[in-house]
Homo-oligomer: A and B are copies of this chain.
Amino acid sequence: MKLENLVGERFKERPADSVIDSHALMIRGGYMKYVSSGIFTIYPVLRRVTRKIEQIIREEMDAIDGQEVLFPVVLPASLWQESGRYDSVGNELLRFSDRNNNPMLLGMTHEEAAVHLVREYGRTYTKYPFMVYQLQTKFRDEPRPRGGLLRVREFTMKDAYSFHTSQNDLDAYFNRCYHAYERIFARVGISDTIAVSSDSGMMGGSFSYEFMLPTQVGEDTLVICKNCDYRANMEAAESITVNEGTSAIQPLDRVFTPNMKTIEDVCVYLGLPIVSSCKAVVYQKNTTDEYIIVFIRGDIEVNETKLINYLQEDIHPAIITEGSGINSGFIGPYKLENAVALFDKSLDGIGNLCCGANAVDYHYTGLNIERDLGEVEYHDLAKATECGICPQCGSAALTISRGVEVGHIFQLGAKYTEAMDMTYTDDSGNLHHPLMGCYGIGVGRLAASVCEAHHDEFGPIWPISIAPWQVHLCCVRADDEIAKAFADRLYAQLVGEDIEVIYDDRLVSAGVMFSDADLLGVPVRVIVSPRNMKDDCCEISMRDQSMSKKVRLGEIVKSLKELLS
């Protein structure tokens, strides 16, 4: 098509509200338009990209025997009441009532709908295994949309659901889907995506993998071992801390620590190593506002996901009121009142700890947990750390980096089929609940991630597999009759060869033309200009600057076909 007809605006200025490059470039290039917080309309350029991504996803899902279906966006609350999630999921589940006051919701994931669809179909073991998937709009009422299409409220998602009669069969299919995901990410141009163990969150089930595109702008923190193939999301990474034994047990001693409200300050003030301190981190349960205090070694951070999973309910950082009976800044486990105390494994085995004394301006030194508190239960509530110990190979080789989640696959086990009482009869006539897997990819986020991985300061550099067009034809000086006539002919010829061409024959400067082309990120560029025409040639170049050459006019089509094949 002609660029002059392309609906969408391109401009030079980086939008003020964009903090990451893909967001800024996709707004600047007329890929999408903000409608409301976390809600965008997709312009034609990006729709061409997402359609190609959708097609790649379809092909790979069909290749692993997936069958495409379409679940509703609007679901009756009753379905989610069956699974229990109507009550257990927070505000990100958008609930409302229809005109007859029936409680409904906007599907943010479709496990319940999938079980509903195949509950009768899957009554006998002979039907298994099978997988259904859809490409459909989803809505999650995210509290903090950010990063353009990276975290939105409304998005197109491919979600797939597989059903199995044994763990072995689920494992085998899960593995097939794992590899299908690898192929999808490779085909859209981000083959450096890695799979990491992850927390299953609201989906439940036994375990899950996230596919992560490593990038500094990612929201997720990755824990990767340099020594073995251990890879996990920080949320799910086991934390291992080794403490040196203590030679001489000291007595518990209450010391004056005026205005020392952080454990770092106290340690400096008292000349103690931070690894001998016991930090208190205070949360409240969302439901009851009950205080939960996590005691953890002073140099280590609390992993809130692990804490939520342990408590089985949502929490938030505490707001400590005057009447709470909690002395903020001076909290310690000895004679603590008015709160639930939890102990992280990082405290196990440390003697002579420094900790708060539950009195303003006082701390203890010489706390020895077993002696002073009796037997306590330790939990893994900590974040893994750079150079920390790998839970798999045991070497101190963990690295911490960042990534964007571009896919997530879950082994759900029988969580949903049990809750919704889906059963099948085995070959002996016995009833069982089938096992499920589920597999998601957000289409818009994937497009933005590819842009994040492949761009320069001037625009995206789309891989040819998902580029909006294959060739960007620029006619510089379209007021030159000879150049224009040649470019028109070449455009018609390329279209006739089924090559996807965006043709810029506007009467604008070469600068405008090229900066627009950079923003559209089409991999192959052909420049027709009066000057080149005189030399009987055109310029062909790659958006990624890997190649630029002059080609004789008669050989352009052949040359392009070779480039594209």
Contacts and interface: CB of A to CB of B under 8 A. Distances in A.
Interface of A: 1, 5-9, 33, 35-37, 39-44, 47-48, 50-51, 65, 67-76, 79, 91-92, 94, 96-99, 102, 104, 106, 113, 116-118, 120-121, 130, 132, 136-137, 139, 141, 143, 153-154, 156
- State the majority secondary structure of interface residues on A: mixed
A117 B47 contact: no
A72 to B, nearest CB: 5
A72 B143 contact: no
Given A5-B130, A92-B99, A40 B72 contact: yes
23 contacts: A1-B67, A5-B65, A5-B67, A7-B121, A33-B116, A35-B113, A36-B76, A36-B102, A39-B72, A41-B70, A41-B71, A41-B116, A43-B117, A47-B67, A48-B68, A50-B70, A72-B154, A73-B137, A73-B154, A94-B96, A94-B99, A96-B97, A99-B143
A154 B70 CA distance: 11
A41 B76 CA distance: 12
Contact of A44 (B69, B98, B106): B69
A374 B9 CA distance: 62
Nearest to A116: B35
Given A76-B36, A98-B141, A42 B67 contact: no
Contact of A70 (B37, B130, B156): B156
Contact of A35 (B37, B76, B137): B76
A156 B40 CA distance: 19
A47 B70 contact: yes
A117 B6 contact: no
A68 B41 contact: no
A86 to B, nearest CB: 14
Given A35-B113, A35-B116, A98-B153, 19 more contacts: A6-B67, A7-B69, A7-B117, A7-B132, A33-B116, A36-B74, A36-B102, A36-B104, A41-B117, A43-B69, A43-B117, A44-B67, A48-B68, A51-B68, A70-B156, A74-B153, A91-B99, A94-B96, A96-B97
B99 A96 contact: no
A304 to B, nearest CB: 20
Contacts of A99: 91-92, 94, 141, 143
B7 A67 contact: yes
Contacts of A139: 73-74
For the complex of A and B, the 3 pairs showing the least CB-CB separation, nearest first, are A96-B96, A42-B70, A44-B67
Residue among A37, A40, A72 with the most chain B CB within 10 A? A72
Contacts of A76: 35-36, 39
Contacts of A65: 5
A114 B554 CA distance: 43
A108 to B, nearest CB: 12
A74 B106 contact: yes
Nearest to A5: B130
A406 to B, nearest CB: 19
Contacts of A104: 36
A94 B156 CA distance: 21
Contacts of A75: 35-36, 39
A41 B72 CA distance: 6
A118 B7 contact: yes
A352 to B, nearest CB: 48
Given A9-B120, A136-B137, A68 B40 contact: no
A210 to B, nearest CB: 25
A91 B97 CA distance: 11
Contacts of A141: 98-99
Nearest to A96: B96
B72 A35 contact: yes
A47 B68 contact: yes
Contacts of A72: 35-36, 39-41, 154
Contacts of A97: 96
Contacts of A40: 72
Contacts of A70: 41-42, 47, 50, 156
Nearest to A155: B72
A453 to B, nearest CB: 23
Nearest to A92: B99
Contacts of A37: 102
A130 B35 contact: no
A168 to B, nearest CB: 19
Contacts of A92: 99
Contacts of A132: 7, 44
A43 B117 CA distance: 8
A14 to B, nearest CB: 17
Nearest to A11: B120
B113 A41 contact: yes
